[in-house]
C-alpha cells in the first residue's frame, strides 16, 4: 500500500442512506398533506433523478456555483409539478423543511464504528457535492467524528470535476498519491483515480443514483472493495 495519510469519503449514498431517508421524509410530508396516493419512493427518485441535469450547467461553467440546497429546492418544485402538485399550494416553510431533509439523512449503521477505527490511523474527511453547512448538519445529526470537512462550496465545483479532488488534497496539504477516495459510485472513483488518488469501492444497497441510469454496472479494478467501513478498516490494518 502507498503511504496513505487521508481517507476522503463520498457522502450521498456511501456515508448516508439518502434514498431511504428522503423516501421516509417525503412519505411523512405526503401523508400530512393528504397526498397518500403518491408513492414516496417514486417521488424521491424523481426528485434526485433531476440532479445530474441540474448540476451539468455548473460543471460546464454555464451557471455559477449554487449549493445543493438551491439545486434541491428547484428540483423539488419541478418534481411536485411532475406529480401534478403546485408548490404554490403548499406552505413555503413546509417545503423548506422538506428540502432540509437532505441535512438529516441517516448514516449507514457501520459509519460510527468504522470511522472511529479508521481515524486512529488516517485523517478522515467527507468529500461531497454537499456544501459545508449541509455536511456539518449531517455530521451532527449522525454524530460522525470527521477530522475535517470538505464541501462542494470550498472548491465551487461538483463531482466529477477534477478540482473537487485536487482542492481537497490541497486543503489538507496531501499529495493525491497519499490520499484515498472511499465511495459507492464508479464515476466518483474513476474521477479520483484520474487525479491520482487510491480508490476503495464500498458496496451499498440503495445507493444507485437515479440521475445516472445506464451507468450503474459496478466496475472492478478498484484498489480496494469492501462491504462496509469495518471491512475496509480490517483491510487497511
Residues that bind a copy of itself (CB under 8 A): 119, 123, 131-133, 136, 139-140, 145, 147-149, 151, 153-154, 171-174
Cell of 1: 500500500
Between 90 and 132, name the residue whose CB sits nearer to a copy of itself. 132
* Three-state secondary structure call for residue 1: coil
Place of cell 445530474: 52
Q: How far is the CB of 67 from a copy of itself (least distance, A)?
A: 8
Please tell me the distance from the alpha carbon of residue 19 to that of residue 17, in angstroms, as a whole number: 6
Handedness of CA 171, 173, 176, 179 (dihedral sign): negative
Between 39 and 147, name the residue whose CB sits nearer to a copy of itself. 147
Cell of 3: 503511504
Q: How far is the CB of 140 from a copy of itself (least distance, A)?
A: 6
Between 149 and 207, name the residue whose CB sits nearer to a copy of itself. 149
Q: How far is the CB of 134 from a copy of itself (least distance, A)?
A: 9
Q: How far is the CB of 146 from a copy of itself (least distance, A)?
A: 9
Between 72 and 211, name the residue whose CB sits nearer to a copy of itself. 72
Please tell me the distance from the alpha carbon of residue 142 to that of residue 66, in angstroms, as a whole number: 25
Please tell me the distance from the alpha carbon of residue 218 to that of residue 130, in angstroms, as a whole number: 23
- Region class of 90: left (phi > 0), else alpha (psi between -120 and 50), else beta: beta
Which of 7, 75, 71, 32 lies closest to 226, judged by CA? 7
Between 41 and 132, name the residue whose CB sits nearer to a copy of itself. 132
Strand order in the sheet with 198-202: 123-126, 6-9, 179-183, 198-202, 224-226
Between 19 and 131, name the residue whose CB sits nearer to a copy of itself. 131
Q: How far is the CB of 102 from a copy of itself (least distance, A)?
A: 14
**Furthest CA-CA distance within the chain:** 57
Amino acid at each position: 500500500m502507498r503511504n496513505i495519510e487521508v481517507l476522503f469519503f463520498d457522502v450521498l449514498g456511501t456515508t448516508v442512506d439518502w434514498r431511504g431517508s428522503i423516501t421516509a421524509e417525503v412519505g411523512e410530508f405526503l401523508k400530512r398533506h393528504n397526498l397518500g396516493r403518491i408513492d414516496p419512493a417514486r417521488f424521491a427518485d424523481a426528485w434526485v433523478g433531476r440532479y445530474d441535469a441540474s448540476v451539468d450547467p455548473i460543471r460546464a461553467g454555464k451557471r455559477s456555483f449554487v449549493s445543493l440546497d438551491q439545486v434541491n429546492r428547484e428540483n423539488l418544485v419541478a418534481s411536485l409539478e411532475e406529480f401534478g402538485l403546485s408548490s404554490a399550494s403548499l406552505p413555503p416553510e413546509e417545503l423548506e423543511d422538506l428540502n432540509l431533509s437532505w441535512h438529516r439523512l441517516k448514516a449507514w449503521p457501520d459509519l460510527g464504528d468504522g470511522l472511529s477505527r479508521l481515524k486512529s490511523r488516517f485523517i478522515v474527511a467527507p468529500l461531497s457535492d454537499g456544501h459545508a453547512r449541509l455536511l456539518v448538519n449531517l455530521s451532527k445529526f449522525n454524530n460522525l467524528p470527521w477530522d475535517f470537512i470538505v464541501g462542494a462550496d470550498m472548491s465551487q465545483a461538483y463531482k466529477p470535476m477534477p478540482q473537487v479532488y485536487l482542492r481537497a488534497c490541497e486543503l489538507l496539504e496531501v499529495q493525491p498519491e497519499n490520499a484515498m477516495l472511499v465511495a459507492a459510485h464508479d464515476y466518483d472513483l474513476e474521477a479520483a483515480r484520474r487525479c491520482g488518488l487510491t480508490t476503495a469501492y464500498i458496496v451499498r444497497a440503495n445507493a444507485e443514483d437515479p440521475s445516472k441510469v445506464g451507468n450503474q454496472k459496478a466496475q472492478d479494478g478498484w484498489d480496494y472493495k469492501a462491504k462496509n467501513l469495518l471491512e475496509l478498516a480490517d483491510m487497511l490494518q
